């Protein structure tokens, strides 16, 4: 008897290999508790034909084809296109900035600017797929715990889909731009008296007890969307893979997605070799970097503390699959201090590109790895800027206005009387200061 044909998409537990249908709403295996992975039937088109199909869609008038996520749908969620909740996410620039490359000591460094997504972070790539899946399952509500960006993205896509959204964020620890977005897009927003890790525990409980669909990055469909960051980078480099892709790491969903994307691209013959992933954490929130130094034997949760609030996470949910991504790509994990993050951010900002603090960790990490000789001269490096400069205006303004003492790269504003002489004086002062 011929084997029954596989559906377009299904889920599998990588720990115990048990399979689940695509319509199973839980992110975890009901047998062993492992986080599920999504699998798709191999596309009909192969190699060059697949690349051409994806490139052609980019210039299409159809929002689905033009989306930087859904144009890669063969490797994202091929069966879901009719339900897609999309708003032209993706298609972000891969920018060269001489000043940033020089500062980092990585010639030819390229910056993939995911802050230029509809809600200002890479989360939109996963959320378009996650909320589409919620719609397909007929979810009555969607929920997430968040350090800010996921909640902003979820709130926006849920509004677009007309599904009520619940977001749980740590009270007093979310950057102003992100909280403002969640409120404005209309999510029911709970300011939890606790840290992100407490919010995630609560969100997991709420999703199990209250039947709301959980859209944290433990949700495997979000990972499918986030893979397209890598597909786009590879496409922008004409499928000649870089030596390194550097990514800031918090809850480890993105590191996992990058590993999955690269391994799939290699398996399908889209790239001849695997780039190495470098994951960068803040040194005050570095359980993954510590685990790496111990050969990934285990993850020891910690109390997280960093001004890069997006990655202020002490007990990352996707540890296992992110460790797998680092191992299989011969990658590394490192960490950088808040001071290094701030300096990197000031350099990226002053280049005209700008990014949020957590994103700058990728650039600070690039510099550290170049100084240590892990990145070698001539290596082709892509650092991912995960969020927009305006996400965290509070930190920006205090950096540039701090007087005691002014940070090294601060650009202090000068208050003046409404008189030309005052402007002249200020320009004189500025000229001297420079």
The enclosing H or E element of 432 equals helix 420-433
Among 249, 261, 363, 383, binds ligand F0G (CB under 6 A): 249
Residue length of the chain: 434
Among 148, 259, 284, 331, binds ligand F0G (CB under 6 A): 148
Q: Determine if 128 is a binding residue for ligand F0G (CB under 6 A).
A: no
Among 86, 228, 251, 329, binds ligand F0G (CB under 6 A): 251
Q: Determine if 366 is a binding residue for ligand F0G (CB under 6 A).
A: no
Among 254, 306, 329, 366, binds ligand F0G (CB under 6 A): 254
Q: Determine if 149 is a binding residue for ligand F0G (CB under 6 A).
A: yes
Q: Determine if 386 is a binding residue for ligand F0G (CB under 6 A).
A: yes
Distance between CA atoms of 221 and 414, rounded to whole angstroms?
A: 49
Binding-site size for ligand F0G (CB under 6 A) equals 23
For ligand F0G, give the closer residue by CB, 39 or 388: 388
Q: Determine if 67 is a binding residue for ligand F0G (CB under 6 A).
A: no
Q: Determine if 310 is a binding residue for ligand F0G (CB under 6 A).
A: yes
In sequence order, the 6+-apart residues with CB closer than 8 A to the CB of 112 are 92, 93, 94, 95, 229, 232, 233, 382, 383, 384, 385
- Closest distance of CB 419 from ligand F0G, Å: 42
For ligand F0G, give the closer residue by CB, 124 or 356: 356
For ligand F0G, give the closer residue by CB, 40 or 321: 321
Q: Which residue's entry shows tokens 């930190």?
A: 395
**Residue 350: closest CA among 61, 97, 143:** 97
- Closest distance of CB 255 from ligand F0G, Å: 6
Among 92, 146, 283, 329, binds ligand F0G (CB under 6 A): 146
- Closest distance of CB 298 from ligand F0G, Å: 18
For ligand F0G, give the closer residue by CB, 54 or 157: 157
For ligand F0G, give the closer residue by CB, 101 or 144: 144
The interface with ligand F0G within residues 156-215 (CB under 6 A) comprises none
CB 338 within 8 A of CB 364: no
Q: Hey, what are 197's tokens?
A: 């890790």
- Closest distance of CB 55 from ligand F0G, Å: 27
Among 38, 192, 311, 344, binds ligand F0G (CB under 6 A): 311
In sequence order, the 6+-apart residues with CB closer than 8 A to the CB of 417 are none
Q: Determine if 387 is a binding residue for ligand F0G (CB under 6 A).
A: yes
**What is the biggest distance separating any 2 CA atoms in the chain, rounded to whole angstroms?**
91
**Strand 165-170 with 332-336, pairing:** unpaired
The residues binding ligand F0G (CB under 6 A) are 121, 123, 146-150, 217, 248-255, 310-311, 356, 358-359, 386-387
């Amino acid at each position: 008897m011929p084997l029954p044909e596989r559906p377009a998409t299904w889920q599998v537990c990588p720990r115990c290999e048990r399979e689940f249908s695509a319509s199973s709403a839980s992110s975890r295996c009901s047998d062993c508790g492992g986080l599920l992975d999504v699998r798709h039937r191999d596309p009909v088109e192969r190699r060059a034909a697949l690349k051409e199909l994806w490139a052609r869609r980019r210039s299409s008038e159809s929002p689905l084809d033009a989306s930087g996520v859904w144009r890669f749908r063969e490797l994202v969620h091929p069966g879901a296109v009719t339900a897609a909740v999309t708003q032209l996410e993706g298609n972000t620039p891969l920018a060269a900035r001489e000043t940033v490359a020089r500062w980092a000591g990585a010639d030819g460094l390229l910056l993939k600017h995911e802050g230029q997504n509809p809600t200002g972070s890479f989360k939109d790539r996963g959320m378009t797929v996650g909320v589409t899946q919620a719609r397909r399952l007929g979810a009555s509500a969607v929920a997430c715990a968040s350090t800010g960006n996921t909640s902003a993205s979820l709130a926006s896509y849920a509004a677009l889909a007309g599904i009520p959204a619940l977001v749980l964020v740590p009270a007093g620890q979310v950057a102003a731009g992100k909280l403002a977005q969640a409120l404005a897009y209309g999510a029911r927003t709970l300011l939890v008296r606790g840290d992100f890790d407490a919010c995630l525990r609560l969100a997991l409980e709420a999703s199990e007890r209250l039947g709301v669909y959980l859209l944290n990055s433990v949700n495997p469909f979000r990972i499918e969307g986030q893979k397209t960051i890598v597909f786009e980078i590879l496409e922008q480099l004409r499928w000649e893979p870089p030596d390194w892709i550097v990514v800031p790491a918090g809850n480890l969903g993105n590191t996992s997605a990058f590993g999955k994307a690269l391994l799939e691209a290699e398996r399908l013959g889209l790239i001849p070799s695997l780039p190495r992933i470098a994951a960068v954490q803040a040194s005050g929130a570095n359980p993954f970097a510590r685990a790496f130094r111990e050969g990934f034997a285990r993850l020891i949760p910690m109390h997280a503390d960093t001004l890069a609030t997006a990655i202020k996470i002490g007990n990352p949910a996707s540890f296992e699959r992110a460790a797998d991504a680092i191992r299989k790509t011969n990658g590394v994990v490192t960490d950088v201090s808040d001071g290094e993050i701030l300096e990197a951010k000031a350099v990226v900002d002053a280049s005209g590109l700008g990014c949020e603090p957590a994103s700058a960790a990728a650039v600070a990490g690039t510099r550290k790895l170049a100084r240590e000789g892990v990145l070698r001269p001539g290596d082709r490096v892509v650092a991912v800027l995960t969020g927009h400069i305006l996400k965290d205006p509070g930190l920006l303004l205090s950096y540039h206005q701090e007087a005691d003492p002014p940070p090294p790269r601060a650009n202090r504003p000068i208050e003046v009387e409404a008189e030309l002489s005052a402007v002249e004086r200020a320009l004189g002062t500025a000229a001297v200061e420079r």
